[in-house]
Each structure stands twice: as structure tokens, then as C-alpha cells.
């Protein structure tokens, strides 16, 4: 397999079995590492930058005190995950372990905004113009700087009264804890699409989806 070949869902699942620090999120794989100090986080950041330069393949890294939130995807492959991402993730994990960084799978996540519409093409460019986003090949919208949440259009002949909802991505291994917290708060949970996603409705009828990488 070439380093630039896009991985199938099964190939990605197989690779992630060997990368316990990493999980799939929309359009990328992600990990979070926690160090003892902020200085140690900077050292790990520097090691990640060195690995990225060596591979000429650069992840997104968000430094927050003693935590690094890392994600990687292949932008030249249309934002898909390739063998290069797996190789880079493996090197990052090796450097994190060498520095004694703690993986925090429980902190991996992402948020997308879903919009119900019977005609996505009629509104996609308007949202893109307002946010400075780019329209993707699949019709969704993405921030060119990869900082703001992605937007996707849920095409339906009967849009919900509340047309906007959040898709909250968590690793499947963490979903039970989140579901329990929602149920304790009296949130109605529709599990007919589980474990790929659960539709949550608050007491005022607002919806959001708890999404996982499982069974997709």
C-alpha cells in the first residue's frame, strides 16, 4: 500500500487496534496527551514538530497548559486518512511515551453543526460566505484554518422545527459515561441508530447527537 492511499474503514479500524492512544473523529484521527508540566508539554510539542518535518506531514496541535490535543489527516487526499497519518500517529505516541506523557482518550472529541434542509445547495454558499468556510466535495463546510466546527447539511423533505443541532463526537469507549450523565439530567435518548449515534432531546425540544466511531 502506498503512503498516500486512502484507508478503508476496515483498514483504519485494524490500524487503530495497534494505536491505543488514538481514536477516529470526523475526517481525522486524534489523541490527547497530558504531561506533568507545561514545559514538558512544550518539549513534546517540539518532538511532534520534528517528526512532522521529517515526514513532511503536519498534524494539527492545540497546546493547553500541560495537554496537547493532536489530530492528523491528509489534506492532499481530500481530508481523508492515509497510511501517512498512521505512521505519524505511531511516532507521536512513541515520543509521548518516552517523555512520560499520559494519554487522555477521555478528552478526545469534536463538535459539528448539523442543519436540516430540503435543499442544501440553496444555502451552503451563504453559510460559507458568512463564516469564511470552504465548501467540501461532500457538500459540507469546513474552516480553512481547522479551528471552528464543521457544518454539514442533513437533507430531508421534512426539516425539523429546530433546524440546527450539534453532533458531539466522543470515543465509543467513553459514550456510556456521557449517556448516563444525560439520562440523569432527564434528557430523552433515542437509541435506534446506536452505537453510531444517539439522538438526545432536551426538555424544550432542542436536539443534539452523541456520535461515536462505532459501527460506521
What is the spatial distance between Cα 28 and Cα 4, in angstroms, rounded to a whole number? 14
What is the C-alpha separation between 59 and 69, in angstroms, rounded?
Answer: 10
pLDDT at 1: 55
* CA–CA dist 50, 92 (Å, integer): 10
In a domain, 1, yes or no: no
What is residue 215's predicted lDDT score, i.e. its pLDDT?
83
Q: What is the CATH number of the domain that holds 175?
A: 3.10.180.10
Note whether residue 4 is domain-resident: no
Task: Evaluate whether residue 160 is within a structural domain.
Answer: yes
Domain-ending residue, one of 53, 83, 107: 107
Q: Which of 208, 186, 20, 190 is nearest to 105 (CA)?
A: 20
Q: Are residues 102 and 119 in the same domain?
A: no
Q: Please indicate, yes or no, if residue 3 is contained in any of the structural domains.
A: no
Question: How far is Cα 97 from Cα 93, in angstroms, rounded to an integer?
Answer: 6
Contact 43, 30 (CB under 8 A): no
- Mean pLDDT, the chain cut into blocks of 10 residues (216 residues total): 80 95 96 98 98 95 98 88 96 97 97 96 96 92 93 93 94 94 96 96 94 89
* CB 55, CB 91: distance < 8 Å: yes
Q: Do residues 152 and 91 both lie within one domain? A: no
Q: What is the reported pTM?
A: 0.90
Same domain, 202 and 128: yes
Number of domains in the chain: 2
Would you state the pLDDT for residue 77?
83
Are both 115 and 193 inside the same structural domain? Answer: yes
- Report residue 130 as a C-alpha cell: 458568512
Domain boundary among 74, 107, 140: 107
Check residue 75 and give its pLDDT.
Answer: 84
pLDDT on residue 21? 97
Last residue of some domain: 107, 127, 147?
A: 107
Q: Which domain holds residue 38?
A: 9-107
Amino acid at each position: 500500500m502506498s503512503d498516500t492511499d486512502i484507508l478503508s474503514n476496515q483498514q483504519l479500524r485494524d490500524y487503530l487496534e495497534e494505536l491505543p492512544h488514538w481514536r477516529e473523529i470526523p475526517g481525522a484521527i486524534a489523541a490527547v496527551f497530558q504531561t506533568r508540566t507545561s514545559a514538558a508539554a512544550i518539549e513534546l510539542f517540539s518532538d511532534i514538530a520534528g517528526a512532522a518535518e521529517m515526514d513532511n506531514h503536519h498534524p494539527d496541535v492545540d497546546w493547553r497548559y500541560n495537554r496537547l490535543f493532536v489530530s492528523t489527516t491528509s489534506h492532499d487526499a481530500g481530508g481523508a486518512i492515509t497510511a501517512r497519518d498512521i505512521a505519524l500517529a505511531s511516532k507521536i505516541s512513541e515520543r509521548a511515551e518516552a517523555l512520560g506523557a499520559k494519554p487522555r482518550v477521555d478528552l478526545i472529541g469534536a463538535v459539528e453543526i448539523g442543519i436540516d434542509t430540503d435543499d442544501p445547495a440553496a444555502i451552503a454558499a451563504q453559510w460559507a460566505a458568512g463564516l469564511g468556510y470552504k465548501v467540501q466535495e461532500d457538500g459540507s463546510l469546513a474552516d480553512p484554518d481547522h479551528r471552528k466546527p464543521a457544518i454539514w447539511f442533513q437533507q430531508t423533505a421534512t426539516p425539523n422545527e429546530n433546524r440546527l443541532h450539534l453532533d458531539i463526537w466522543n470515543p465509543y469507549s467513553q459514550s456510556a459515561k456521557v449517556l448516563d450523565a444525560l439520562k440523569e439530567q432527564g434528557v430523552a435518548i433515542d437509541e435506534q441508530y446506536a452505537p453510531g449515534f444517539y439522538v438526545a432531546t432536551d426538555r424544550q425540544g432542542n436536539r443534539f447527537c452523541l456520535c461515536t466511531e462505532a459501527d460506521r
